[in-house]
Chains A and B, each alone.
Chain A
Amino acid sequence: MIPSWILDIFAAIMLVVAAVSAARLVAARPWQHRTRPAALADIDVAHLLMAIAMAGQLVPGLQTLPDGAWQVIFAVMTVWFGYRVVRDAQVSGVRALAGGHCAPHLIHAGAMLYMFAAVSAPAGHGSGGMGGGGMSGMGTLSLPFLAFLFALVLVGYSIWDLDQLSGPGASGHYSLAAARMAPTGPVLAGVGAAAGPGATASVAVAGPVSPTVVAETAEEARVVPPASAPADGTGVLAPWVATSCRIAMGVTMAFMLIIMI
């Protein structure tokens, strides 16, 4: 049996991630954007939901929704990020899988869906799914090789994120500094402008005003008046915050997959 205090620590980390993600959503105010508010908020919403779900899996007392509801949520999330990865790949090619930020979230969402769909509660723990059994009760996953593969990929993305976050050329959603935003004039703005983690490219607009702004993909970059450009990516909106959340979730998810094999 895994000591419960270890599961509690991982659950606490997930609650911190959930709180940070919620704070990012509040700070970014994606609902105030007239176009593509979902694309502005999807990363933080995904982090928030996954962190809450994982905390509930780790500590039964933190369960919020029934397993079936989580399955639906993560199925929708998987489809959404699958769609966004395809869109990224159309722009960036296969590099979207390594350099983009939607591919890791697709894996995260898929892993969560798998965890909720493939778990079987330990004998004698009723129908509470993995959460009902509790992780220390070792609910087990069917198709363990799939769990192993998911864990490998999650570890890989986490390691890659750590390297990029600490690299000399860290920028965009790996940047430890604040994202640069358009100060004046019509500019290109995008997901990264509002949500931080979405930033993967900086675009300087030629002309009288040449500010540097951040856009995740070509499709999401758009001309917006300066008044609607969100506040810059400082504080909780800094790109590294979201990447750190992703690393924490990736490691925790790999941990959960492995201990449930």
Chain B
Amino acid sequence: MSEIAAAGASPAWRSRLRAGTETACAAPDARRLLQLALAGIWLLDGVLQYQAFMFSKGFSDMLAGTASGNPRVVASPITWDATLVQHHLVLLNAIFATIQLLIGIGIAWRPTVRVALAASIAWSLGVWWFGEGLGMVLTGDVSPVNGAPGAVILYALLAVLLWPADRPGRLAPFVAARAVGAPVARALWLVLWLSLAYFALLPGNRAPQALHDMIAGMTDGEPGWLAALDRGAASLVAHQGLAASIVLAAALVIVAAGVYLPAPAARGTLVLAIVIAALIWVFGEAFGEIMTGGATDPNSGPLLALLALAYWPARAMTMAPARTAPAGAGEGMAVS
């Protein structure tokens, strides 16, 4: 809140007050805004985890189902975990939901942002294994269109990239580079999007009806308009599995390489990444199937878009060497 010297209650104070209200909120920097978006998704996840379905046997069955097709060393702990959850369903699911709720709140509450981000990394890795079967990436039955490599691992990646620390004296060309440095951030981006391209070309996804069936399969339980949208999209790619896979993989490779391009071209590829994420979210993931009442998260679409924003080229950001970024803030950064 700014304090404004007003010369009496003249009309002039109205414009001055406008200036005051415009500075009413402490404007967070870009990294903090992305952290808040991540916090919002965690909070949403926590709320979703309280749904009635999660307190039913369907939830433990869903967990157990992720063991299928995975190597024994991966599958056995999943089965053990699913059995444990089944035996203590109400208590454990309430704890799961509360943990996610607290992670979201913790990231949003500045003094606890580091603790919450660290907890989110640990939690994400645990859920990626025990809840998503490592995103099913080892089964060969996975596609970027329906959430590979597992939405929850993207939470961990975002937490690392948005960690509230700055590398002293380095230039950060984008937000994701501030904590880990540009080379590491670019390498992580490359690995992620190239892996998505690889998944798109898996034999199961190249089959003529693979993409059609995947999209058409999302219509169950969805509102009529969304089901119609999905059916329309599915009909567009009917019998086009191979061509669709190649086009998608090519686009994903372009996105993967984009962060190594000059800023204008990089922005173009990031826009492409956001468009792909949006298309995946709407048509491939049906908004994470949240409207069916059985979703545990909004799936990978919003997280891929959030990642792309973290790589958006900005003016060179110089880190003040003597300062470390306060929790959740970007105060250690000067934009040059």
Contacts and interface: CB of A to CB of B under 8 A. Distances in A.
A1 B50 contact: no
A28 interface: no
Given A155-B47, A162-B105, A164-B25, A202 B40 contact: no
A168 B52 CA distance: 39
B205 to A, nearest CB: 28
Contacts of B110: 163, 166-168
Interface in A111-160: 136, 138, 143-145, 148, 151-152, 155-156, 158-160
Contacts of B26: 164, 167-171, 174
A94 to B, nearest CB: 10
A2 B50 contact: yes
A175 interface: yes
Contact of B44 (A95, A145, A152, A165): A152
Give the interface size bracket for A toward B: 35 or more
A218 interface: yes
B55 A3 contact: yes
B191 to A, nearest CB: 29
A234 to B, nearest CB: 17
A249 interface: no
Q: Which secondary structure dominates where chain B touches chain A?
A: helix
Contacts of B18: 91-93, 218
A206 to B, nearest CB: 5
Nearest to B25: A99
Nearest to B17: A218
Q: Which of A2, A138, A206, A212 has the largest count of B CB atoms less than 10 A from its CB?
A: A2
B5 interface: yes
Given A151-B47, A155-B40, A175 B21 contact: no
Given A6-B94, A206-B5, 17 more contacts: A1-B55, A88-B21, A98-B25, A99-B24, A145-B223, A145-B225, A160-B36, A162-B39, A166-B110, A167-B28, A201-B1, A203-B3, A206-B7, A217-B21, A218-B18, A254-B43, A261-B291
Closest 3 CB pairs of A and B: A169-B26, A172-B1, A201-B20
Interface of A: 1-3, 6, 88, 91-93, 95-96, 98-100, 136, 138, 143-145, 148, 151-152, 155-156, 158-160, 162-172, 174-175, 188, 199-207, 210, 212, 214-215, 217-218, 221-223, 251, 254-255, 258-259, 261
